Amino acid sequence: MNKKKLIILAIILGSILVICALILVFKKEIKLELIGKANISVNINEKYKDAKVKACYGNIFSCKKIDYSTFGNVDTTKLGTYKIRYKVTHNKKSKTVSRIVKVVDKKNPTLTINTKDFTICPNGKTKNYDYKAEDNLDGDLTEKVEVKVEYDKLVFTVQDSAKNVTKKTFSYKKEDNEAPQIALNGNKTKYVLVGESFSDEGVNVTDDCDDLSGKVKTSSSVDTSKPGTYYVNYEVTDEAGNNAKETRTVIVYNKNVDVTPSEKTIYLTFDDGPGPYTAQLLDILKKYNVKATFFVTNQYPAYESLITREAEEGHSVAIHTYTHNYSYVYSSVENYFADLNNMQEKIKKLTGKETRLVRFPGGSSNTISRRYSPGIMTTLANELEARGYKYFDWNVVSGDAGETTSTSKVIANVTSNLRSSYTNVLQHDVKAFSVNAVESIIQYGLTHGYHFAPLDVTSPGAHQKINN
Ligand SMILES: [Zn+2]
C-alpha cells in the first residue's frame, strides 16, 4: 500500500467517525432519570416526599420535557418495601425506571429511669428499680427491660421489635437495708373449738435479696385442750441481718353452754324452711351445741323430715305459715288461721308436739297485708294471743331477705349489731349464702362472751310496731 492510498483510507475512516458522532449527538431519544437515589429509607410515620424523575425527549443540545406516569405509592404508616415505577411513552417508544422505598423503624425506644440511687444486693442480685420504656411502634416495653450487672455498672437495656436498642448505665452500691416481708397464709385470727385439732397454715416470706424459704422460725403456744387466746409467732432474718416478725392469734373456745338467758343472748332464727340447706345448717349448730329456732313452712315438702330432726336436736320448731302466700294468709282472719292450723297439724305429726311460737310472713310490722285486708295485723296479733300463741319479730336483720347475697355481708350485718341484752337474728335457711354465714357468726358470738338459745314462750318477742 502506498502513502496516497493510506491517506484516502484515513480520510474515509475519519469521515465515518465524524458522521457517527454527528448522528449520536443529534439523535433524538427518550431520557428518563430518577431525581435522587434509587434506594431510599424512610422512618415510619415520617412524611415521605418523592423526588420524582426527569423525563424529556431530545438530544444533548435540547431535550423537551414530556409527561410521565407514576405507579405505586408509599404508605409510611406501615413497615415494608415499596416500589415506585415511572413510565414514559413517546413516539411509540417507552421507557421505565423505578425506585425502592423502604419504610423502616429506626427510632429507639425511650427508657426513663426514675430511681436515683442504685443499690444491688450483696450477693449481686439486682433489686426492683423504677423505670418505664416506651416505643413509637411497640408501645409500652417496660416489661421487656433487662437489668444486668456488668462489672461496676448497672445496665438497663431495652430493644424494640425492629431491634433498635436503648441502653443506660449507672453506678451502684452494694447494700441490703430492706427487711423481708411475711404474709400469713389464712386468717390472722383463727377460731378453734376446744378439743379440735389446729394445723397452722404457715406464712409466705419474700425478700428483695435472699431466698428465705425454710428459714422462718415459728413458735406456737397453742393448746387446743384449753380455752384461751394463743399466739403463733413467726420470725425471719435475711443474710444482711434485716429482721421481720408476724403473729397469728388463735382463739380456743368452748361450745355453747345451755344457760337461762339473762344477757348477751343470741336467738338465731331461720324462716321459710326446711329446705335444701337445712341439714347442713343443723350439722353446724350441732358442732357448736347451739340451739336455734326454725319458723317452718310447707314450701319444700320434700324436706319436711328435717322438722323432726330440728325438734330432736333441741331446736325450737315454730310456725311461719303453711303456704307462705301473703295474698291468702292476709286475706282474712279465717284464712290465716286455716293456714296456721295446717302447719300446726304437720308439726304435730312430725314432732309429736304442738308449738306455741309464731312469726308472721313479713313480720308484724308488714304493710303488704294492707293490700289484702286493712287492719288485719292488729286483729291477728290479738287473736294469736287469745289462742295461746306468742308471735316473734326480730331486732337484727342479716340482710339475706334482699339487701345482699354475700355471705361476708351477712356475717358483718349480724356481728356488728349484736345487742348487750338479747339479739333476735332473722335469717333464712333456704338461702345457701346465708346458711354459710352461720358458722362465723357462732364463732364470733362464742368468742365475744355471747351465748345462744332457742326461743320459747318466755323469750322476748322483739316486737316491731304494727302498721296495719
Ligand atoms: Zn318468710
Domain range holding 119? 110-174
Question: What spacing in Å lies between the alpha carbon of 421 and ligand 1's midpoint?
Answer: 25
- Find how far residue 267's CA is from the centre of its chain: 37
- In degrees rounded to 5, what are phi and psi of residue 220? -135, 140
pLDDT tens for the chain, 468 residues: list them: 688 899 999 999 999 999 888 887 788 889 999 999 999 999 999 999 999 999 999 888 888 999 999 999 999 999 999 999 999 998 889 999 999 999 999 999 999 999 999 999 999 999 999 999 999 999 999 999 999 999 999 999 999 999 999 999 999 999 999 999 999 999 999 999 999 999 999 999 999 999 998 999 999 999 999 999 999 999 999 999 999 999 999 999 998 888 888 899 999 999 999 999 999 999 999 999 999 999 999 999 999 999 999 999 999 999 999 999 999 999 999 999 999 999 999 999 999 999 999 999 999 999 999 999 999 999 999 999 999 999 999 999 999 999 999 999 999 999 999 999 999 999 999 999 999 999 999 999 999 999 999 999 999 999 999 999
282 and 415 co-located in one domain: yes
273 and 416 co-located in one domain: yes
Question: What spacing in Å lies between the alpha carbon of 140 and ligand 1's midpoint?
Answer: 56
382 and 282 co-located in one domain: yes
218 and 278 co-located in one domain: no
The answer to whether 333 and 387 are in contact (CB under 8 A) is no
Question: What spacing in Å lies between the alpha carbon of 296 and ligand 1's midpoint?
Answer: 9
In a domain, 35, yes or no: yes
Question: What spacing in Å lies between the alpha carbon of 427 and ligand 1's midpoint?
Answer: 9
CATH number at residue 152: 2.60.40
Question: What spacing in Å lies between the alpha carbon of 295 and ligand 1's midpoint?
Answer: 8
Grid cell for residue 279: 341439714
Question: What spacing in Å lies between the alpha carbon of 329 and ligand 1's midpoint?
Answer: 12
Question: What spacing in Å lies between the alpha carbon of 437 and ligand 1's midpoint?
Answer: 18
307 and 444 co-located in one domain: yes
Question: What spacing in Å lies between the alpha carbon of 100 and ligand 1's midpoint?
Answer: 82
Tally the domains of the chain.
Answer: 4
pLDDT for 91 equals 85
Question: What spacing in Å lies between the alpha carbon of 272 and ligand 1's midpoint?
Answer: 5
CATH number at residue 63: 2.60.40.10
pLDDT for 1 equals 61
Question: What spacing in Å lies between the alpha carbon of 279 and ligand 1's midpoint?
Answer: 19
331 and 430 co-located in one domain: yes
pLDDT for 61 equals 85
Question: What spacing in Å lies between the alpha carbon of 325 and ligand 1's midpoint?
Answer: 9
Question: What spacing in Å lies between the alpha carbon of 413 and ligand 1's midpoint?
Answer: 19
Question: 435, exposed or middle or buried, with CB in 10 Å at 0-12, 13-18, 19+?
Answer: buried
Question: What spacing in Å lies between the alpha carbon of 257 and ligand 1's midpoint?
Answer: 29
Q: What is the per-residue pLDDT across 156-194, written as a single tens digit (0 to 9) for each?
A: 999 999 999 999 999 999 999 999 999 999 999 999 999
Question: What spacing in Å lies between the alpha carbon of 1 and ligand 1's midpoint?
Answer: 140
Q: What is the DSSP string of 160-176?
A: -TT--EEEEEEE-EE--
Q: CA dist 365 to 1, 305, 347, 380, Å?
A: 146, 31, 26, 12
395 and 412 co-located in one domain: yes
Q: Among residues 174, 197, 229, which one ends one of the domains? A: 174
The answer to whether 160 and 184 are in contact (CB under 8 A) is no
290 and 351 co-located in one domain: yes
Question: What spacing in Å lies between the alpha carbon of 359 and ligand 1's midpoint?
Answer: 8
**Integer Cα distance of 122 and 207 in angstroms:** 13
In a domain, 364, yes or no: yes
Question: What spacing in Å lies between the alpha carbon of 362 and ligand 1's midpoint?
Answer: 6
Question: What spacing in Å lies between the alpha carbon of 363 and ligand 1's midpoint?
Answer: 8
Question: What spacing in Å lies between the alpha carbon of 440 and ligand 1's midpoint?
Answer: 23
Q: In a 3-state reduction of DSSP, which class is residue 300? A: coil
In a domain, 1, yes or no: no
Question: What spacing in Å lies between the alpha carbon of 77 and ligand 1's midpoint?
Answer: 67
CATH number at residue 422: 3.20.20.370
Q: What is the per-residue pLDDT across 106-141, written as a single tens digit (0 to 9) for each?
A: 999 999 999 999 999 999 999 999 999 999 999 999
pLDDT for 262 equals 82
In a domain, 242, yes or no: yes
In a domain, 3, yes or no: no
In a domain, 74, yes or no: yes
In a domain, 9, yes or no: no
* Triad 427, 396, 411: Cα angle to 5°: 60
Question: What spacing in Å lies between the alpha carbon of 324 and ligand 1's midpoint?
Answer: 7
Cis check for the bond before 460: say yes or no (omega within 30 of 0). Answer: no
Q: In a 3-state reduction of DSSP, which class is residue 188? A: coil
